[in-house]
Structure 1
């Protein structure tokens, strides 16, 4: 059942993300043509400000998810109900608190913008709309986490998929008929709320015992959860400092127009990495279930396979985006929106880092290594903010992303040591040797394919783009065969794929 749910979660996540990405491109194209790039800059800025306000949620979503693994595994239904009801009350109160907090800082939004703050009419109203859209989701977090912890995240993804498709379609219609930024956001709020209420109704029906029977956590259980939240809260602050401040720094030191240009790259690169992250993340609940089982042999086997897959996915992401992102932007919205290749390369590296370290991050979450992770994250956020701000003054966009890259590289070695020793109980030298080998092969693949791309000198245009894409895929697969044809993890992966294909044919 664990394998089936992992496949369903990963498979549906990838397919839905891909379709949503197509709709997002259509909406973004209309948005740029009608409203312009500066609106995109404010869009990214408001999202970052609200993500920083969200540190107040204290990492409760992760704490709830982690708290449910063991009782669900042991079929402790009453305890699950108590945990869900306990967190639901907290989430609802925080949703109200955060919206009030966002409303209070609305008059000071101009402080985060370089130059004139009057370029967008009703800027403060737009920010309030964004705040409502963001923090209304807190009232449904418990519902989503119940499905996630039961390894049924594909049900949540189905609702999100439908909501996104309806939203993007109606937003395009609104922009064409009545080009108003407020109407654009209003449509998203209405549809998102509708589908969230539908999901909540479905969850209350399928897991009625978690919501209809009052249940209280014991004092020692509340204390355990509080201890997790205490360290998660600081870890959440650190993560926002690492990943949630780039847009604010760019807006303040470079300008919202530059932020708008970057946001187009961010849409593509983050959508692609999120799509692949969904593929990797589909096994997280199963990994948590496995840790609850406490079978070290199975844990090591699954982790090794998971780690191998993440390296291959990350490598393909890096080489595909390096070769294709610039011609795609030029073909999509024109050469005026093309950024420096050096800047793009650093941004891609940061996304590559997030994908390749996915197994480590998910072990931290599913194993509950929040206390051990905290000092590393705090060090990383200090390095990121200091280096990014200092370099942004002289080097603009490049400086901001180099700061993030430096903090990622330094923290990587510390996280590896912590996870391998505390979370997996593996021999550190064996793990490092394997990772170094993977990384060397990964960079050889990237260098070889990029060199071939330069030699072929593809022109801008649809035909050239398709040929370039085919070259990337074919050459990547050939190099995979060359480097990994005898690799133990590759053989395991091939056997799994063959068995699933055989099962599918048998079912037909």
Structure 2
């Protein structure tokens, strides 16, 4: 069975964007309320616990990715019996993972104070807060987590987005109410725990309604289980490396520089991470479709699609970098005040980090869809170890500069070249030389668009929100104008326009514009 990939991807992207806007605005409001109602150190605590729990989630081992990948083929073949058996195996694995996360979390409990430099907010018991956050994580595995896999494999993440909007609405209403009414951070975290339980239960109900034919029953052949377990083993090193990269920076900042420095850094990273979330909607929305395409179509067709995908991703990334570099400082001054600004050179480093990170994430879509985890298993691990080692080595000398530089270096010298080589060698079976040249041109486009945009923005006077809105509008127009001027002559431009037209059903409109 061939999926309607364009329709599914479009639906997923639309609802994913709606969800991400929702998840950007309300957490932004929550972060602001915590800052002004409780103080900057609470922001640091929130970021620290999130990173610690990401480390504990290593127990997941990549089970979810392996299971979803294993469902692509039986879905294409309409093999319901195999899908049900996969769900049963997934259910068993996730219950065991929940136990492992809980046990590991309890072992880590006595060491939590060692991860915080300086003091903590008065009247706070960090052990209680940590345990509440830990249980919220554990319940994500114990309560019907396996039901989510069938939605992902069928490319119905729009359903997940709708459920999340409902549960998050309840969560944020209760959290805002408790902060204003009681000024109590414990109640805030308790609401997080309850909302996670609600989310899992509601997802399971919707999954059962859409796909009642799939229940967790049956048994896979030993050979199939062995193959899945091998995929999980391969994904573990990838998961470990990614966790080190994403969590090490936060933990090292907290341990060496303190909660206040962590909060300031996380204010910037929060915005970057929010934008990464928007881009990730595209990636996650097309991964199942790409996996289906690799089964249905030949290598040439898939390579053609990959070039278009790269073009679109690099356009989006160049636009984002231009906006970050020009708007970060005025926005942060309005949001958190001039006393909580990072130096501008550090902002530029964060822009570099964003561009490289997004390239790796884009390539990872084809790595995941193609299932080449075994060959890729040591790349994230080596990159993560390099990042952590450099963090510990230079944080005392360079502070936050050292943290960001460590991450960039580990990605540029290890992760990006490695994943590119794997994709071209194992999936496309061709040289990556021409592709790398084109990628270099996309990077040059991002640099030029950023420079010109910043020069123009620098000429615009005005402070306050009115001045910021004017600068933002100019930034959007100038950056995209420069990108179009530099890219419109390459073949991928017209192919990308045609793809977008098909996704949003505006082919005739685009054809009329092109004829004129």
Band of TM-score, shorter chain: over 0.9
Distance 2:104 2:93 in 1: 16
Distance 1:414 1:41 in 2: 34
Provide the residue aligned with 1:425 in structure 2.
429
Provide the residue aligned with 1:16 in structure 2.
19
Provide the residue aligned with 1:186 in structure 2.
190
Distance 2:375 2:498 in 1: 36
SS of the residue 1:215 aligns to: coil
SS of the residue 2:117 aligns to: coil
1:495 aligns to 2:498 (yes or no): yes
Question: Which of 101, 104, 107 in structure 2 is aligned with 1:101?
Answer: 104
Provide the residue aligned with 2:513 in structure 1.
none
Provide the residue aligned with 1:331 in structure 2.
334
Provide the residue aligned with 2:283 in structure 1.
280
SS of the residue 1:141 aligns to: coil
1:389 aligns to 2:392 (yes or no): yes
Does the 8 A contact of 1:291 with 1:299 survive in 2? yes
Distance 1:276 1:359 in 2: 9
Per-residue Cα deviation, 1:125-170 (whole angstroms, up to 9, x for no partner): 1001111112211233321121011011100111112222221222
Structure-to-structure mapping, 1:242-253, within 5 angstroms: 242-253=245-256
Question: Which of 48, 52, 55 in structure 1 is aligned with 2:51?
Answer: 48
Provide the residue aligned with 1:416 in structure 2.
420
Question: Which of 144, 149, 154 in structure 2 is aligned with 1:150?
Answer: 154
Provide the residue aligned with 1:399 in structure 2.
402
Task: Point out where structure 2 has 5 or more consecutive residues left out of the alignment.
Answer: 510-516
1:313 shift after superposition: 0.8
Deviates more, 1:6-15 or 1:293-302: 293-302
Distance 2:377 2:54 in 1: 19
Structure-to-structure mapping, 1:34-433, within 5 angstroms: 34-117=37-120, 119=122, 121-139=124-142, 140-211=144-215, 214-411=217-414, 412-433=416-437
Provide the residue aligned with 2:455 in structure 1.
451
1:92 shift after superposition: 1.4
Provide the residue aligned with 1:475 in structure 2.
478
Distance 2:56 2:26 in 1: 29
1:217 shift after superposition: 0.5
Distance 1:184 1:484 in 2: 48
**Aligned-residue CA RMSD in angstroms?**
1.8
Does the 8 A contact of 2:319 with 2:480 survive in 1? no
SS of the residue 1:244 aligns to: helix
Q: Using structure 2 for the length normalisation, give the TM-score.
A: 0.94
Q: Using structure 1 for the length normalisation, give the TM-score.
A: 0.95
Per-residue Cα deviation, 1:422-480 (whole angstroms, up to 9, x for no partner): 122232211112111221222111122122223x1544311111111111111122112
Distance 2:157 2:461 in 1: 41
Distance 1:82 1:285 in 2: 20
Q: How many residues align?
A: 503
Does the 8 A contact of 1:273 with 1:317 survive in 2? no
Task: Point out where structure 1 has 5 or more consecutive residues left out of the alignment.
Answer: none
Per-residue Cα deviation, 1:43-102 (whole angstroms, up to 9, x for no partner): 111111111111122111111111111111111111111111101111012113212321
Distance 2:332 2:451 in 1: 22
Distance 1:99 1:155 in 2: 29
Does the 8 A contact of 2:41 with 2:259 survive in 1? yes
1:402 shift after superposition: 0.7
Distance 2:28 2:467 in 1: 20
Per-residue Cα deviation, 1:297-355 (whole angstroms, up to 9, x for no partner): 32112211111111011111111111111111111121122111222222232222222
Does the 8 A contact of 1:59 with 1:236 survive in 2? yes
Does the 8 A contact of 1:147 with 1:153 survive in 2? yes
Change over 3 Å in CA distance of 1:287–1:451 after alignment to 2: same
1:501 shift after superposition: 4.4
